Structure 1
Amino acid sequence: MQFSMKCSIAVHCLIFIHEANDHIKVTSPLLSLSTGVNPATIRSILSVLKKAGIIQVELGTGGATLQKDPRDINLYMIDKAVEPHDFDQLIKIHPCKYPLCPVARSMSQILRRPYQEIEEVIRIKMESIDLQSLIEDYRQSQVNESTQDK
């Protein structure tokens, strides 16, 4: 079971966009530099975030801004935007169907419900974590970092 890194890259971009707060124009090359990710990948992520209504990107000149209040954007929304199929059977079931083995014949049926319940718990938890709380965590990390430097 593993999530793609696209969600964490998207969160990085969204926090950067929020913190830029009209001080600088946030472009894919700038986000690429900040994240260490190829600009084409950044453009792809920005494109799906725009389609999801999370950000707005100025045509021509570039520059991304949040389209929603950070309290109205949650981790699940971000993940669904960048990886629409992440929660389609998050935990895979071995496809063994050896017809002569009763255990093999039953595994899919036995595991489907508990795996779906686990996926639901993860989804609910991700929905409870909004971008604003991540921004606050980022800001606190900056305070902690600056006090350690002294």
Structure 2
Amino acid sequence: MKISTRFSDSIHILAFIDIYHGLIPLTSSNIASSIETSPVVVRRLMSALHKAGLINTVHGAADPELAKSPKDISLYDVFLAIEGDAHLFTIDERTNPQCIVGGNIQEALEGFYQQAEIAAKAKLATTSLQDVINTIRVKQAEKERRN
């Protein structure tokens, strides 16, 4: 089973827009080359980010911009824009009810998963896009110092 990267790719897009705004054309091809995906995927994600009010775009123009300051965009905002109310963890409902494990695993995991999901979403809500951008800039400065 492949795990979706739509959420992290969307954060990538937002950070790219902020860091490169005014420096290079912010085409879906340029952004896609950073993510190593197709421009179509970038356009789809940007459409969801636009609908959620996180970016401003003009159809046909390669100049998207953040709709808010990066400090005012939480990672939870991005998650909601891309994943909606999706759960972070999924319990397999197709298990053998005649088995001790299969007959009880869903109920056993439900509370643990719910607690983990609440904690994860709370952390995303208190982490801003600015936090991510600052970390990217620090990591880049460290790389440049080593070279």
Q: Normalized against structure 1, the TM-score is what?
A: 0.84
Q: Aligned-pair distance for 1:21?
A: 3.0
Structure 2 unaligned residues grouped into runs of 5+: none
In structure 2, C-alpha distance between the alignment counterparts of 1:9 and 1:141, rounded to whole Å: 18
Q: Which residue of 2 is the match for residue 55 of structure 1?
A: 55
Partner Cα distance (2:78, 2:2) in 1: 16
Task: Spell out the pairing of 1:63-102 with structure 2 (5 A cutoff).
Answer: 63-87=63-87, 90-96=89-95, 98=97
Residue 134 of structure 1 pairs with residue 126 of structure 2: no
For residues 1-150 of structure 1, the aligned pairs below 5 Å read 4-87=4-87, 90-96=89-95, 98=97, 104-149=102-147
Are 1:95 and 1:108, in contact at CA under 8 Å, matched by a contact in 2?
Answer: no
Q: Distance in 2 between matches of 1:105 and 1:36?
A: 42
Question: Percent sequence identity over matched residues?
Answer: 28
Distance 2:49 2:134 in 1: 21
How well do the aligned residues superpose, as a CA RMSD in angstroms? 2.3
The range that moved more, 46-55 or 27-36, is 27-36
Cα distance in 1 between the residues matched to 2:144 and 2:136:
12
Deviations 1:117-141 (A, max 9, x none): 1111111111121100111001111
8 Å Cα contact 1:57/1:63 also seen in 2: yes
* CA pair 107-34 structure 1, distance change in 2 beyond 3 A: closer
Q: Distance in 2 between matches of 1:32 and 1:104?
A: 42
- The 1:30/1:114 distance shift into structure 2, 3 A limit, reads same
C-alpha contact (below 8 Å) 2:28/2:42 kept by paired residues = yes
Q: Which amino acid aligns with 2:52?
A: A
Superposition deviation, residue 56 in structure 1:
0.6
Contact 1:25 1:64 in 2 (8 A): no
| Residues matched between the structures, number | 147
Q: 1:2 to 1:114 in 2, by over 3 A?
A: farther
* Cα-to-partner distance string for 1:22-75 (whole Å, 9 max, x where unaligned): 333312111112221100000001000001110011123232100011111112
